[in-house]
Amino acid sequence: MDINILRHSASHIMADAVKQLFPDVKLGIGPAVENGFYYDFERKTPFVPEDLKEIEKKMHEIVKADLPFKKEQMPKEKALELFNKMGEQYKAELIKDIPDKEVSIYTQGKFTDLCRGPHVSSTGEVKVFKLLSIAGAYWRGIDTNPMLQRIYGTAFETKKELDDYLKLLEEAQKRDHRKIGKELEYFSMHDEIGAGLILYHPKGGLLRTIIEDWEKREHLKRGYQIVIGPHISKSDIWVHSGHYENYRDLMYIFEIEGQEYTVKPMNCPGHILIYQSKTRSYKDLPLRFFELGSVYRYEKSGVLHGLLRVRGFTQDDAHIFCLEEQVVDEITAVIDFVSYAMKTFGFNEFMVEISTRPPKSIGSDQMWKRAQDALTAALDKKGLKYQICEGEGAFYGPKIDIKLKDAIGRFWQCATIQCDFALPERFNLTYVGQDGKEYRPVMLHRVILGSMERFIGALLEHYAGALPLWLNPVQVAVIPITDKEKAYAEEVKKRLSENDIRIELYGQNETLNYKIRQAQSEKIPYMLIVGAKEASDKTVSVRARSGKTEGQIKLDDFIDRALKEIQRHG
């Protein structure tokens, strides 16, 4: 059975149950989505969790009745009259926008809905389901439209599949980066600053710095040159690039002294201007410009989500200008870089997608074909399987998206590689070939980790906050048992600091058990407990955050072991 058909049918059963329990509600839409389904309703009184239990109970009654899903093709005018008579103005609005002369409706029992289908044969086939949550959603996703109430649910063919999924949801809630970020004091968000804008606290700022320093070293090793651009620019450059026409809804635009400016949504035009700043030879190519570039995009408040969907973020952005015959090798090298980065950060599996030309785009069909052929050739060269996502490319070129699989099986979008013949033509980019004539370079846009914000969110959830030693902002907690050992604890702290091991001294006047619990709650990888015997023997008692104890070892031996563990990441 097609799971999406099952879930779409479940959404109709839920809508039927809601209408029976709350006859005054108005129906929005109810599609199947990844991992489940939802349905939008207009209701003056907000739904509450207790309502979900009643709705589920009614759904089971509808399932038990085993009502057939009956499809009917109906003239558009007749359907419009039917739904207007039913008082379903949202359905009537949808019907008006359908270009066809006929529409399809589905009925089970006394419930009728506008729907293309398909559905299972009867309600009795939808036996395993669960309603999950309630959220708000603007009608048709437009923030000037009415706010509706959205009920999310999921459905499976077997109870085991549902139980496994609910366990996954429970584990995901434990790993929620927003919860972990608050508990570990990594970051916060404040209404006073604005939605989707992040404040990094000292530990979060240090984590981000560790990642960015790694990025800079690895890019320099691979022949990238670091560049830096401003956060605002005149709108003219974005008009020239096509962003103004194709991306304007996501841009922040303002005026100063009669001149229109834009807060930077992307880094590519700046890198293009650096390329144009002097005559380039074929001998100079490939040129690889790398920038940890902060950008700002207007995302609707309803889609903002912790670090994963924000309005201000920093990308590990690079643009490679190369000869057409160099393109496949450059893309292959980026794929290798991504693979190395993922393994370094502890992600061992990923999936690959190629997104093709969207409806709003620039450049000729020939350009798009050459670009897509280069992407597929590189993936084929690496022996990587991929899925095609029709119409989801950037407006200037097709792209490869690489999604990481985390510890509990979820996928996270991070790395992207875009192949672009269009912007070099728009900006008249050239290089001088061997024959002294001018030719057009190809431009590759790429990120390795993606945005720092999203990647940090993914890391926190992947590790449930217990980051590996090399990444953890505090690597070691030094815990004196009593005040008498504070002097030795300071000595241990000094020795660790001299070896660039990040430490925190727990010198507060609390019990040993309290200090250990505190260090464990902060997910510090190692605790070094020092008492009178350790001070006398110049040793430390090692305790891991898992609770495992190792007893006394020489301080030098611990330092040597910790440094080797830290160095293994690269």
Q: What φ, ψ does residue 466 adopt, rounded to 5°?
A: -85, 75
DSSP designation for 518:
H
Q: CA geometry: angle at 252 spanning 247 and 256, to 5°?
A: 125
Q: Which of 12, 19, 219, 315 is catalytic?
A: 315
The 3-state DSSP class for residue 196 equals: coil
Cα–Cα distances in Å, from 372 out to 202, 318, 351, 369, 375?
A: 43, 19, 18, 5, 5
Say if CB 299 and CB 425 are below 8 A apart.
no
* Pairing mode, strands 225-226 and 287-296: parallel
Q: What φ, ψ does residue 40 adopt, rounded to 5°?
A: -100, 140
Catalytic-residue membership of 8: no
For residue 74, the cross-strand partners are 103
Q: What φ, ψ does residue 74 adopt, rounded to 5°?
A: -135, 140
* Pairing mode, strands 526-530 and 476-480: parallel
Catalytic-residue membership of 419: no
Catalytic-residue membership of 445: yes
User: For residue 121, what are its two tokens?
Assistant: 């044969």
Say if CB 243 and CB 265 are below 8 A apart.
yes
* Cα torsion angle, 20, 21, 25, 29, sign: negative
Distance, CA of 351 to CA of 415 (rounded, Å):
11
Nearest C-alpha neighbor of 86 from the set 21, 5, 23 = 23
DSSP designation for 122:
B
Residue whose token pair is 């459905």? 155
Q: Which of 264, 288, 445, 493 is catalytic?
A: 445
Say if CB 205 and CB 212 are below 8 A apart.
no
Catalytic-residue membership of 116: no
Q: CA geometry: angle at 141 spanning 28 and 304, to 5°?
A: 125
The C-alpha R_g of the chain, in whole angstroms, comes to 29
Q: Which of 297, 311, 446, 493 is catalytic?
A: 297
Omega prior to 118 cis, within 30 of 0: yes
Q: Which of 8, 91, 208, 399 is catalytic?
A: 399
Q: Which of 16, 40, 316, 317 is catalytic?
A: 317
Instruction: Taking each helix axis as running N to C, give the angle between helix 327-344 and helix 202-221, from 0 to 180 degrees, rounded to the nearest 10.
Output: 140
Residue 110 zone, left/alpha/beta (φ > 0; ψ -120 to 50; rest)? alpha
Say if CB 13 and CB 30 are below 8 A apart.
no
Distance, CA of 180 to CA of 186 (rounded, Å):
8
Q: Which of 7, 12, 319, 545 is catalytic?
A: 319
Q: Which of 115, 268, 322, 414 is catalytic?
A: 268
User: For residue 12, what are its two tokens?
Assistant: 């109709």
Catalytic-residue membership of 297: yes
Neighbours of 110 (CB within 10 A): 9
Residue whose token pair is 């320099």? 220
User: For residue 297, what are its two tokens?
Assistant: 């995009």
Catalytic-residue membership of 143: no
- Where helices occur in 440-485 by DSSP H, the ranges are 452-462
Catalytic-residue membership of 319: yes
Q: Which residues are catalytic?
A: 268, 297, 315, 317, 319, 399, 445
